[in-house]
Structure 1
Amino acid sequence: MPPRAALFDLDGTLVDSLQDIREAMNHALALHGLPVHPLSDYRRFVGEGVRVLVARAVPTGREDVHAAVLAAYQAHYAEHHLKHTRPYPGVLGVLSRLAGEGVKLAVLSNKPDAATRKLVAALLPDVPFGAVYGERTGVPRKPDPTAALGIATELGVEPGDCAFIGDTAVDMDTARAAGMYSVGVTWGFRDVEELQAHGARALAHTADELLQALLGAPRAATRP
């Protein structure tokens, strides 16, 4: 049976935001005389919250500038977060189809909460999300299952009737910890091997395959 609710990661799953993240962080690093990074590095840097992003981007031994780099990054990103960021091809169709099938929708990101809400409102304004959350003070970030379980409660759906869709090990670990059906999308920031190693129960290489994983049968990885 299809899930009664589908919880989605944001960056790398619903929207391709990596270029804007890179430009904002490289701007902050350059301001402080630190080396900048190519886009490929940011595929490994993101996924575990903005403070971890800063720690990975700043050279080891320069913890003294973490707070200043974080502030510069957030200021630049707030002004330029929609320069390149767009929904992935087919994502809007997937969300529309799921909503039409009566599946409740939600977003759970490790991006700061205000930035998560702002991005969803700007790029996915017509999607009937029942909950949209980023990282919040007092709530452990993914892969801790607390936030995911809270969303399930808010939506009135048992965790076992929820799917969790994401593009990183963090998302697959969150799904497993919450007792949700894990679906890894391969168009995001990490590779198939990472998703499989962290327990993805299905893989989706395209929007159509994501719909098949959620609405079709059998529930198994679509490719080796």
Structure 2
Amino acid sequence: MHLRAAIFDLDGTLVDSLADIAAAMNHSLSLHGLPTHPVSSYRYYVGEGVMVLVRKATQVDREDLYDSVLAAYRAYYADHLFDQTQAYPGIPRMLAQLAAEDVRMAVLSNKADVFTRQLVEGLLPGVPFTSIYGERSGVPRKPDPTAALGLAVELGVSPKDCAFVGDTPVDMNTARNAGMYSVGVTWGFRSPEELRAHGARALATTADELLEALRAARASGA
């Protein structure tokens, strides 16, 4: 490996969005007469796409409800995207440093593409991401490697020369499936033990540690 690029997950990795996701879904659940959940529960509901979020949050086998719950969630979330969501401490500085060191960067999320772009552009302005992608029609979600491998092409690097950075088993599995260097961050939605169990080759507890982990991989040919 000669690290030349890094692909980042969004929620739980670059931005802390859990409270706004929880508020939007709880609003939708209330509208449909369903029980709501504490913010902490949403750590285990997110990461696999919005329909998985809907199924886990509703906790009922009522497919007839899912589209309506989803529509209400999206409508509320669109108006409250930035209520509490913010970049994690040190992330803007870390990304600026990677750019200064000629590491090419991209974002790949299972969040809806429109929300992914709005959050990145609103909270991380000026970061020279080559591409920013959320969930798109016709493109399989993570951990399928299709989108990650497509980003490697756009970044102009071999998958083996690209790091994939995320906070969930989905991200670590994506890295493995794409043949990329997996880096787990522990400030997000899942535990270090889960990340290790799913193949994280490095762990970072702060943005500074993430920068050093990527630098070490680049220097050592990990």
Tell me the TM-score normalised to structure 2 length: 0.96
- Cα offset, 1:64, TM superposition: 1.7
1:134 equivalent in structure 2: 134
Tell me the SS of whatever aligns to 1:216. Answer: helix
| Contact residue 108 and residue 134 of structure 1 kept, 8 A | yes
1:66 to 2:66 alignment:
yes
Aligned counterpart, 1:49: 49
Correspondences of 1:82-93 after superposition (within 5 Å): 82-93=82-93
CA contact (8 A) 2:3 2:217 kept: no
Corresponding pairs, count: 220
Q: Deviations over 1:5-34 (max 9, x none)?
A: 000000000000000000000000000100
Q: Deviations over 1:115-153 (max 9, x none)?
A: 111111111111000010001000000000000000000
- Within the alignment, does 1:194 sit opposite 2:194 as a pair? yes
Per the TM alignment, residue 40 of structure 1 is displaced from its structure 2 partner at its CA by: 1.2
Structure 1 residues 4 and 122: CA distance shift in structure 2, 3 A: same
In the TM superposition, what is the alpha-carbon distance from 1:93 to its structure 2 partner? Answer: 1.0
Work out whether residues 2 and 216 of structure 1, in 8 Å CA contact, stay in contact via their aligned partners in 2: no
Partner residue, 2:75: 75
DSSP-derived class of the 2:29 partner: helix
Q: Deviation at 1:196? A: 0.3
* CA-to-aligned-CA distance 1:73-124 (integer Å, 9 cap, x gap): 0000000010000000010111001000000010000001111111111111
Write the distance in 1 (CA, Å) between the matches of 2:153 and 2:164.
Answer: 14
Aligned partners of 1:126, 1:55: CA distance in 2, in Å? 36
AA aligned opposite 2:59: P
Aligned ranges for residues 143-154 of structure 1 at < 5 Å? 143-154=143-154
CA RMSD of aligned residues (A): 1.4
Task: Give distance in 2, aligned partners of 1:212 and 1:195.
Answer: 18
Q: Is 2:65 the counterpart of 1:34?
A: no
Tell me, in whole angstroms, the C-alpha distance in 2 between the residues paired with 1:77 and 1:91. Answer: 23
Aligned to 1:112: 112
Tell me: CA distance 1:214–1:2, structure 2 relative to 1, closer, same or farther (3 Å). Answer: farther
Shift of 1:59: 2.1
Contact kept? 1:213, 1:219, Cα under 8 Å: no
Q: Displacement of 1:58 after TM fit?
A: 0.5
Gaps of 5+ in 2: none
TM-score w.r.t. the length of structure 1 is 0.95
Q: Secondary structure at the match of 2:164?
A: strand
Question: For residue 78 of structure 1, what is the amino acid of its counterpart?
Answer: A
Give the equivalent residue in structure 2 for 1:124: 124
Alignment partners' CA distance in 2, 1:38 and 1:146: 34
Higher relative contact order (CA 8 A, sep 6+): 2
